[in-house]
Amino acid sequence: MAERAVDLGWMRIFAEIGRVGSLSSAASTLGLTQPAVSYQIRRLEEQMGVALLTRQHRGVELTPAGQRLFDIVARSVGEIDDLARRLRSEVERPSIRLHTDYAFSALWLIPRMHAFRLLYPDMDIQIVATQRMERERSEQSDVAVVFGTRAEFGARAKLLLPEKVAPVCSQGFLDRNGPFTEPADLARGRLIHLDTAAPSPWFDWRSYFAQIGINREPHAGQGDLSFNTYSLVVQAALGEQGLALGWMGLVDPLLASGILAIAGPSLEAPDRGYWLLQPKTRSPQSDQLGAWLLSEAGIG
């Protein structure tokens, strides 16, 4: 179906006459009668105070004044038509917004976005990342991936990544400071912390040591480091600055490549982790994005 042109009145009529050199051909192209086109040109010439067209045996020719006007009008009509096409395309192009936190977006989502683009090349996706998402709700048209427990999000949430952590560090740090054969060896190492509001909603070093029966203060004079985003925690571990708690699912590619190494026992919290929340008002785009996220997480 042809797109309806923006109504530009005499400008479109004059631009078409100048292009084809004929009142009747312009009228036919624009779906108008020739008398209606002639009337518009007469009115325009009266308002301009000059002749714009010279009638020829077969058609019309622009006068010098008409050529000057045509140059402006043709350019303006073309630019307006181009803008109208772009605006229609933006409105009609499917789009979706995904809310999540910095860690999930940087370490899990972005490395996989190329695969999503291959599947849905025409869908625009906006990633909205914040420091902590676990208590926020998805908006009417949004998908969200948030950290927390099933009790927080209810039955409509689907668990993408259950929480499982293990101490990780660079191979260079492990070679110089390890091996950390016993859990107590970890407590004597330099730790990299993620600053959170107390109590932490996920495993931190304090709760990790408590689970394995080790008593260590969060900062025990070992030159510990603290960061307010998990991406910086991982970067510090990659930079051989100390031991970090690695969230399985987020650091798996770094472990698989050997850039990071596991340095101690892992702990799991099966009912806690990253959850997929679909919007209350579903759309084909939210369903497609949700299905893709589940597939990438290995959930059938």
Q: Which of 92, 109, 125 is the last residue of a domain?
A: 92
Q: Which of 32, 61, 92 is the last residue of a domain?
A: 92
- Number of structural domains (the chain) is 2
CA angle 145-146-149, nearest 5°?
Answer: 130
Residue 107 and residue 35 in one domain:
no
Residues 87 and 158 in one domain: no
Concatenate the DSSP letters of all residues of 109-170 into one string.
IGGGHHHHHHH-TT-EEEEEEES--TTPPP-TTEEEEEEEEHHHH-TT-EEEEEEEEEEEEE
Distance of alpha carbon 196 from alpha carbon 201, whole angstroms: 8
Residue corresponding to tokens 């292009």? 19
Q: Are 159 and 223 within one domain?
A: yes
Report yes or no on 212 lying in a domain. yes
Contacts of 216 (CB under 8 A, 6+ apart): 187, 205, 209
CA–CA distance, 209 with 172 (Å, rounded to integer): 24
pLDDT at 5: 80
pLDDT score for 91: 65
- Would 57 be classed as within a structural domain? yes
- Consecutive sets of 10 residues in the chain, 300 residues long: mean pLDDT of each? 75 93 92 92 94 89 94 94 80 79 92 90 86 53 86 86 96 92 89 83 91 77 86 95 95 94 94 90 86 89
Whether the upstream peptide bond of residue 167 has omega within 30° of 0, thus cis, is no
Any idea what the CATH number is for the domain that residue 178 is in? 3.40.190.290
Same domain flag for 65 and 178: no
**Whether residues 196 and 85 fall in one domain:** no
Cβ atoms < 10 Å from Cβ of 43: 11
User: Does residue 2 belong to any structural domain of this protein?
Assistant: no
Domain membership of residue 3 (yes or no) is no
Tens digits of residue pLDDT in 7-46? 899 999 999 999 999 999 999 999 899 999 999 999 999 9
First-to-final CA distance of the chain: 40
pLDDT recorded at residue 2: 47
Based on the domain organization, do 82 and 115 belong to the same domain? no
Q: Which domain holds residue 128?
A: 97-300
The predicted structure's pLDDT at residue 89: 67
Q: Are 167 and 192 in contact (CB under 8 A)?
A: no
What are the two backbone dihedrals, phi and then psi, of residue 61, each rounded to the nearest 5 degrees?
A: -135, 145
Judging by DSSP bridges, how do beta strands 53-56 and 59-62 pair with one another? antiparallel
* pTM given for the model: 0.67
* Structural contact between residues 216 and 273, judged by C-beta atoms closer than 8 angstroms: no
- Whether residue 116 sits in one domain with residue 24: no
CA distance 64 to 154: 74
Q: Tokens 């009912």 belong to which residue?
A: 271
Clarify whether residues 262 and 159 are in a common domain. Answer: yes
* DSSP at 34: H
